[in-house]
Homo-oligomer: A and B are copies of this chain.
Amino acid sequence: MSHNSFGQLFRFTTWGESHGSAIGCVVDGTPPGLALAEPDIQQWLDKRKPGQSRFTTQRKEPDQVKILSGVFDGLTTGTPISMVIENMDQRSRDYGDIKDKFRPAHADYTYFKKYGIRDYRGGGRASARETALRVAAGGVARKVLGDAIRIRGALIQVGAHHVERERWNWEEVDNNPFFCPDPVMAGLWADYLDGVRKEGSSVGAIIEVVASGVPTGWGAPVYGKLDAELATAMMSINAVKGVEIGAGMGVAALRGEENSDEMAMNNDGTVRFLSNHAGGILGGISSGQDVIVRFAVKPTSSILQARRTVTVDGKDTEIVTKGRHDPCVGIRAVPVGEAMMACVLADHMLRHRAQCG
């Protein structure tokens, strides 16, 4: 058991705090003989790194990854892949205000109560900086999965404003700073978030991640359900408060005949489903359809508006969390969600192969 590891056979362990000298992860269980180099990882980190638009934090973190082990002559060796990212922006900040106050909606209070230690430097392990390592591990996972499986994420809602499915175009995702598949909505979000930022506020979001090409049969019917592991994968991302598979929470309002995805034969002898309310997973096992997961990210907790809180010494006070914060942390959660999808699938690929050959 480890509180800092994820996965069973494709398994990674992360370490480091946002204000230490470095953060890193160790990826274990990778099959040998896969082509892997730092750029394979860096491309995904670059999608997540801060400061790429005015809608994300302006911290300067190049997030350059170094591979320290597990690769020889350009190929994975089957041994642990250790990756490290140096922390560059650990400037000697004045923590005076934060040091003695618990920031509401952050982990400050619970972390202190659990460990008896007040690590005021940016949240310790509760910092979202840890998610860079998930993205790195996800880069390895994509190599394990191979090119036949495609994993794509999109931001589909910011505040109350959601994309229109009819306008969905995956190619648009790279054309705006929001990973938004709906160009109309992307324009609206830009204005909306400018307003939110100027008010010193923040707002929540919903991300959708889709995996295509997943073969039928991954997962297991009880506690190794593919959807159950996607749920823990996404809910373990900082600030996530809800996870949906396929029709999600909306299934409550559906009738059985609306919800059940009918099946029919293709001419080539394969099976097709006539809809995908199931999100590509039936009884915890992949059906061959697109695997679809959504998760909701709460608004950034660090805001410029004053909030009531208490001090470490037990006194009432107020707090304003200055600094360079994301007005909508949901944006940068998109590549993190993709990475967690990749890691869950890579793990289940190996788990399925172990049992069923």
Interface: A59 (CB within 8 A): no
- For A265, give its contact among B1, B121, B256, B315 (CB under 8 Å): B315
Residues of chain B lying within 8 A (CB to CB) of residue A262: 104, 307-309
28 A-B pairs with CB atoms under 8 Å apart are A2-B223, A2-B224, A3-B222, A15-B26, A33-B116, A72-B124, A78-B114, A78-B356, A105-B256, A107-B284, A110-B283, A159-B252, A159-B255, A196-B255, A204-B254, A231-B243, A241-B247, A242-B244, A249-B296, A252-B297, A256-B300, A257-B307, A259-B301, A260-B303, A264-B308, A264-B316, A350-B354, A353-B357
In the assembled complex, the Cα of A33 lies from the Cα of B357 at a distance in Å of 11
A271-300 near B? 1/0 per residue, CB < 8 Å: 100100111011111111000001011111
Known: A125-B221, A274-B308. A32 touches B116 (CB 8 A): yes
In the assembled complex, the Cα of A76 lies from the Cα of B114 at a distance in Å of 13
Residues of chain B lying within 8 A (CB to CB) of residue A243: 231, 235, 242-244
Determine whether the beta carbon of B253 is less than 8 Å from that of A249.
no
Residues of chain B lying within 8 A (CB to CB) of residue A315: 265
Determine whether the beta carbon of A222 is less than 8 Å from that of B296.
no
Interface: A115 (CB within 8 A): yes
Q: Among the interface residues A79, A124, A245, A258, which one has the most CB atoms of the partner chain B within 10 A?
A: A79
A309-350 near B? 1/0 per residue, CB < 8 Å: 110001110000000000000100000000000000000001
Determine whether the beta carbon of A305 is less than 8 Å from that of B256.
yes
In the assembled complex, the Cα of A141 lies from the Cα of B105 at a distance in Å of 29
Determine whether the beta carbon of A4 is less than 8 Å from that of B222.
yes
- For A105, give its contact among B29, B231, B261, B353 (CB under 8 Å): B261
Residues of chain B lying within 8 A (CB to CB) of residue A249: 206, 241-242, 244, 248-249, 294, 296
Known: A117-B72, A308-B263. A283 touches B351 (CB 8 A): no
Identity of the chain B residue whose Cβ is nearest the Cβ of A299 in the assembled complex: B256
Determine whether the beta carbon of A351 is less than 8 Å from that of B354.
yes
In the assembled complex, the Cα of A1 lies from the Cα of B80 at a distance in Å of 13
Residues of chain B lying within 8 A (CB to CB) of residue A23: 69
A143 smallest CB distance to B (angstroms): 14
Interface: A113 (CB within 8 A): yes
Interface size on A, residues (CB 8 A): 155
Determine whether the beta carbon of A260 is less than 8 Å from that of B105.
yes
Residues of chain B lying within 8 A (CB to CB) of residue A352: 114
Interface: A5 (CB within 8 A): yes
Determine whether the beta carbon of B255 is less than 8 Å from that of A201.
yes
In the assembled complex, the Cα of A64 lies from the Cα of B300 at a distance in Å of 41
Interface: A183 (CB within 8 A): no
Residues of chain B lying within 8 A (CB to CB) of residue A102: 263
Identity of the chain B residue whose Cβ is nearest the Cβ of A288 in the assembled complex: B113
Residues of chain B lying within 8 A (CB to CB) of residue A75: 117
Interface: A82 (CB within 8 A): yes
Interface: A160 (CB within 8 A): yes
Determine whether the beta carbon of A248 is less than 8 Å from that of B296.
yes
Residues of chain B lying within 8 A (CB to CB) of residue A238: 283
Residues of chain B lying within 8 A (CB to CB) of residue A116: 32-33, 356
Determine whether the beta carbon of A113 is less than 8 Å from that of B69.
no
Residues of chain B lying within 8 A (CB to CB) of residue A96: none
A249 smallest CB distance to B (angstroms): 4
